[in-house]
Amino acid sequence: MKKITIVGAGLAGSLLSVYLAKKGFEVNVYERRSDMRKSSKGGGKSINLALSTRGIHALKEVGLYDEIKKIAIPMYGRMIHPVEGDLSFQRYGKDDSEYINAVSRADLNISLMELAERNPGVKIHFNERCSGIDFKNSEINFHNELTGETTLVKSDIVIATDGATSAVRMEMQKIPRFNFAQHYENYGYKELIIPSGEDGSFLMEKNALHIWPRGSFMLIALPNPDGSYTCTLFLAYDHSLGEENSFEYLNTEERADTFFKKQFPDAYKMIPEFKKEFFNNPTGTLMTVKCFPWIYEDRIALLGDACHAIVPFFGQGMNAAFEDCTCLNDCIDKYGTDWKKVFNEYQKQRKINSDAIADLAQENFIEMRDLVSDKEFLFRKKIETELYKKYPDTFIPKYSMVTFSRIPYSVALQRGKIQEEILKELCAEADSRESIDYGKAEKLINNRLEKLL
Amino acid sequence: MKKITIVGAGLAGSLLSVYLAKKGFEVNVYERRSDMRKSSKGGGKSINLALSTRGIHALKEVGLYDEIKKIAIPMYGRMIHPVEGDLSFQRYGKDDSEYINAVSRADLNISLMELAERNPGVKIHFNERCSGIDFKNSEINFHNELTGETTLVKSDIVIATDGATSAVRMEMQKIPRFNFAQHYENYGYKELIIPSGEDGSFLMEKNALHIWPRGSFMLIALPNPDGSYTCTLFLAYDHSLGEENSFEYLNTEERADTFFKKQFPDAYKMIPEFKKEFFNNPTGTLMTVKCFPWIYEDRIALLGDACHAIVPFFGQGMNAAFEDCTCLNDCIDKYGTDWKKVFNEYQKQRKINSDAIADLAQENFIEMRDLVSDKEFLFRKKIETELYKKYPDTFIPKYSMVTFSRIPYSVALQRGKIQEEILKELCAEADSRESIDYGKAEKLINNRLEKLL
């Protein structure tokens, strides 16, 4: 049986090690950071995640979903917080059976590592930084961050799950004809905490993803099991037009405080340590990574953020990486250890869909920060829901295709665009803001959508 | 006076060292390769280049143009070689005063290095590979490829001119919010030699750039002073549709020979060593690099291919890099040693123009390999020349703006697009393939172009 090296024991690497161990491979996982079970959690990334259908499918395949379900909080929709006025709730799915799950990145990662290590075929090595790779001979140098020692690891197969700033990919970039792009948004994010109320009670609706849409920026909040919420402020770094809504401008406690109090009055009251957190917490970056090829001959492959980091606005980064693992596992089912075929098929299936979710995630930022409080948009959403009820197999809202199904992302992107056109056409022609021409709707749906799924 | 380190003694680095030495700076240039004056020439890159107005302007500024003029061969236009039938000549400029210059990369580089070293302020260190950089402290490690020794070089200012695969840029990529993209065409190139005739005579027209346009691929040839021509075959690596016109398909001597004989019958007769050269010469790649920012605080800057490698189809790679040097020199004239201002102004002026020439170069590939033998295109070219004669200050052909002027590339791109629209409109309405409505032409030119230059 071939010896497999996985670079990175984050969410994707840990899950992948379980999939591969279940197939009987000997798997060594090398992780740059220290064991998060023994030291601080998180490693600089966002604290909680939205687990949805694609991720759940993978967790079910490795037998971990029942355990994760216990620590996950269902979120049935968006709770919109305007500057003034009442909150409004926008359901994500068709009913309470469709929801996304707030889950702690650290808890999920730890569960996956523990599951992996229960397998005798898996060993996780911590504090091991990839410091060089010889593609021709599948040899990797790992530099131990504690001892300073360097180990040369030779294996048959290497899979790099070392994230958006992947060291393996960076070496791959030197190989001729490797296409690569890393693009940073002019937006950063800042995490802030709304603590729980007395006795661990939730200060807002527990089972919702809270959004404060403000056009060019937004605040969101996800619930944690202890009654607190992790808020994330998404804000431009700077504005070429000299606007004040930017991290650059909010460089004094007074400015930050004034801004936050004015824009998010209800949230402001619930964040007692606002000024401290705003200036002590780091400002995170938002990057999209695209590259091709993802594989080197029949020996080395990239997976997850290492080859397709995306912005977080569709909550699909982890779900997409987990779907990579599911796909690779399916390819091994199909082609056994003919790794050339396995890797080629994996790359063929996943590259197109990763490109699609990257675009979908960028689109969704505009929807979240701006459109969710727009009247035209809300009317279209209402009609979308009605059409979905009438044509549940044909007219599936883009959000549902991405979040509550395993329809390939590329299909969701393509059908989503067509549906958007249909909705715009129908809503523009609607006499009132109440209803549309359903006869025409049926014709448009039949003509433009039927054949695609 | 501040100490400046230049990484890379290629065309851009050598020229820049002269510009800076003339301003009185102490300049150390570190070059990865050995001294090309003592060993083999070229270093894997294409053998000859097309020097035009922007490059000439820079060479004049440093006082080297008269010397280079002696070794350059004027090319007044394109000589088109169809598969069958007569050759046709397409002039580049308005008359014999406008031409591009075939010049040997190695000879030009050597002249620049010699000019640099005549300056007591400049020292070029060979065989020194940049193996790491500390941006905060402007410290670079150079690894000597001969002795194996590593030297730590600290300087006030670092300018990286280390080419398309820049080591400095690769380190810069790790800095948050550094945007980067490297894109390879699905085309490679292969150099082949047409030797001189008896007594060093030229076997084809000497003062032309020869093109064999074939739609999806092409051959070109530039004259050398010894009577030979350097030919370059541009061909797809592979074809998803399984076509035969690809390097992948031409994997046997018989296939390559049959292909070349059929497609380029006149060239085939002039390349005696075709099979040997086709299989012994490497296949070069074609890459476009874009990144931002180009600078790190007031200490480090990228210049030339290191920040904007482009495809060679407009013959502007070197010319654009030389224009970077001219611009940086102008910025120093303006801001002295306020390097923050110097670098910011340099970046502001050059980034937009580098993006433009990258697009222009990709467009020109289609023109060269396909359109130059298209009848509609030739009619538009004819009308373009006529309009240029009538409105020499307003309607300047895109090729002329790029090649025979120092109009910013971004302006050339923008005006080129408008002119193309005007030409298409006028030519589509032309009664015959003979002439157009000049009254309408004047109106269109006045309305759409007047205000832009």
CA pair distance B354, B10, nearest whole angstrom: 19
Residue B43's pLDDT is 45
CA pair distance B158, B268, nearest whole angstrom: 48
Contact A19, A61 (CB under 8 A): yes
Q: Which residue's structure tokens are 């150390």?
A: B28
Contact B182 A184 (CB under 8 A): no
Assess A280–B contact: CB distance below 8 Å, yes or no: no
Contact A179 B179 (CB under 8 A): no
- Residues of B within 8 A of A178 (CB-CB) are 182, 184
Amino acid in the structure at residue B389: K
Per residue in B419-446, pLDDT (tens digit) is 999 999 998 887 665 678 888 888 898 8
Amino acid in the structure at residue B67: E
Mutating which of A179, A311, A344 best tests the B interface, going by the most B Cβ atoms within 10 A? Answer: A179
Mutating which of B166, B169, B180 best tests the A interface, going by the most A Cβ atoms within 10 A? Answer: B180
Q: Minimal Cα distance from A181: which residue of B?
A: B181
- Residues of A within 8 A of B182 (CB-CB) are 173, 178-181
pTM for the full model? Answer: 0.93
Assess A249–B contact: CB distance below 8 Å, yes or no: no
Of B178, B184, B237, the CB nearest to A179: B184
Mutating which of A182, A240, A292 best tests the B interface, going by the most B Cβ atoms within 10 A? Answer: A182
Work out the minimum CA distance from A235 to partner chain B, whole angstroms: 15
Pairing of strands B209-213, B218-223: antiparallel
Taking residues A44-61, report their average pLDDT: 88
pLDDT of residue B452 exceeding 80: no
Work out the minimum CA distance from A327 to partner chain B, whole angstroms: 24
In 3-state terms chain A splits into helix, strand, coil percentages (rounded to 5) of 40, 25, 35
CA pair distance B21, A359, nearest whole angstrom: 48
CA pair distance A288, B149, nearest whole angstrom: 39
Work out the minimum CA distance from B183 to partner chain A, whole angstroms: 5
Work out the minimum CA distance from A170 to partner chain B, whole angstroms: 8
Give the percent of chain B with pLDDT over 70: 96
Work out the minimum CA distance from A349 to partner chain B, whole angstroms: 16
DSSP-assigned beta bridge partners for residue B78: B90, B209
Taking residues B272-300, report their average pLDDT: 96
Contact B10, B109 (CB under 8 A): yes
Q: Is B34 exposed, middle or buried, given 0-12, 13-18 or 19+ CB atoms closer than 10 A?
A: middle
Beta-carbon pairs below 8 A across chains A and B? 38
DSSP-assigned beta bridge partners for residue B83: none
Of B173, B177, B181, the CB nearest to A285: B177
Give the start-to-end residue ranges of the domains of chain A. Answer: 3-74+100-181+288-364, 183-285, 374-448
Long-range contacts of B259-262 (CB under 8 A, 24+ apart): B262/B83
Contact B180 A178 (CB under 8 A): no
DSSP-assigned beta bridge partners for residue B411: none
Residue B449's pLDDT is 85
Assess A285–B contact: CB distance below 8 Å, yes or no: yes
Q: Which of A60, A68, A9, A24 lies closest to A326, judged by CA? A: A60
- Residue A152: strand, helix, or coil: strand
Q: Minimal Cα distance from A283: which residue of B?
A: B176
- Residues of A within 8 A of B181 (CB-CB) are 180-183
Contact A176 B182 (CB under 8 A): no
Assess A176–B contact: CB distance below 8 Å, yes or no: yes
Residue B328's pLDDT is 98
Taking residues B313-333, report their average pLDDT: 98
Nearby residues of B375 by Cβ (< 8 Å), 6 or more positions away: B433
Mutating which of B165, B171, B182, B352 best tests the A interface, going by the most A Cβ atoms within 10 A? Answer: B182
Contact B285 A177 (CB under 8 A): yes
Assess B184–A contact: CB distance below 8 Å, yes or no: yes
Work out the minimum CA distance from A364 to partner chain B, whole angstroms: 21
CA pair distance B286, B317, nearest whole angstrom: 12
Q: Is A88 exposed, middle or buried, given 0-12, 13-18 or 19+ CB atoms closer than 10 A?
A: middle
Taking residues A77-86, report their average pLDDT: 94
Amino acid in the structure at residue B34: S
Helices A317-335 and A53-61: crossing angle in degrees, nearest 10, is: 40
Nearby residues of B309 by Cβ (< 8 Å), 6 or more positions away: B163, B164, B182, B287, B288, B289, B317
Number of H helices and number of E strands within chain A? 15, 19
Per residue in B131-169, pLDDT (tens digit) is 999 999 999 999 999 999 999 999 999 999 999 999 999
Q: What is the topology classification, in CATH, of domain A3-74+100-181+288-364?
A: FAD/NAD(P)-binding domain (3.50.50)
Nearby residues of B442 by Cβ (< 8 Å), 6 or more positions away: none
- Residues of B within 8 A of A180 (CB-CB) are 180-182
CA pair distance A186, A285, nearest whole angstrom: 9
Per residue in B118-136, pLDDT (tens digit) is 999 999 999 999 999 999 9
Q: pLDDT band at B451, cuts 50/70/90?
A: low
Of B174, B177, B184, the CB nearest to A177: B184
Contact A108, A65 (CB under 8 A): no
Sheet containing A100-104: which strands, arranged edge to edge?
Answer: A48-51, A100-104, A73-75
Assess B179–A contact: CB distance below 8 Å, yes or no: yes
Residue B38's pLDDT is 87
CA pair distance B143, B126, nearest whole angstrom: 11
Assess B173–A contact: CB distance below 8 Å, yes or no: yes
pLDDT of residue A368 exceeding 70: yes
Q: pLDDT band at B416, cuts 50/70/90?
A: very high
Q: Which residue's structure tokens are 């010049």?
A: B103
Residue B341's pLDDT is 98
Taking residues B222-248, report their average pLDDT: 90
Of A173, A174, A182, the CB nearest to B179: A182
Residue A353 sits at φ, ψ, to 5 deg, of -80, -30
φ/ψ region of B175 (left if φ > 0, alpha if ψ in -120 to 50, else beta) reads: beta
Residue A42's pLDDT is 44
Dump strand ranges (E) for A171-283.
Answer: 179-194, 209-213, 218-223, 229-236
Helices A339-369 and A317-335: crossing angle in degrees, nearest 10, is: 160
**Measured between alpha carbons, how far is residue B283 from residues A294, B45, B192 in Å?**
22, 11, 11
Helix (H) or strand (E) holding A413: helix A409-429
Residue B1's pLDDT is 66
DSSP-assigned beta bridge partners for residue B321: none
CA pair distance B24, B10, nearest whole angstrom: 21
CATH class of domain segment(s) B3-73+104-181+287-364: alpha beta
Residue A79 sits at φ, ψ, to 5 deg, of -105, 115
Query: CA dihedral defined by B286, B232, B100, B347, rounded to 10 degrees?
Result: 10
Taking residues A379-400, report their average pLDDT: 92
Per residue in B360-409, pLDDT (tens digit) is 999 999 888 887 777 888 889 999 999 999 999 899 999 999 999 999 99
- Output b/e per residue, A354-365; b: 16+ Cβ within 10 A: bbbbbbbbbbbb
Per residue in A118-143, pLDDT (tens digit) is 999 999 999 999 999 999 999 999 99
Taking residues A67-91, report their average pLDDT: 95
Contact B180 A180 (CB under 8 A): yes
- Residues of B within 8 A of A165 (CB-CB) are 174
Work out the minimum CA distance from A128 to partner chain B, whole angstroms: 19
Contact B177 A165 (CB under 8 A): no
ipTM over 0.85: yes
Work out the minimum CA distance from A407 to partner chain B, whole angstroms: 26
Contact B390, B444 (CB under 8 A): no
**DSSP string for residues in A433-445:** SS---HHHHHHHH
Q: Which of residues 362-381 of B touch A (CB under 8 A)?
A: none
Contact B321, B289 (CB under 8 A): no
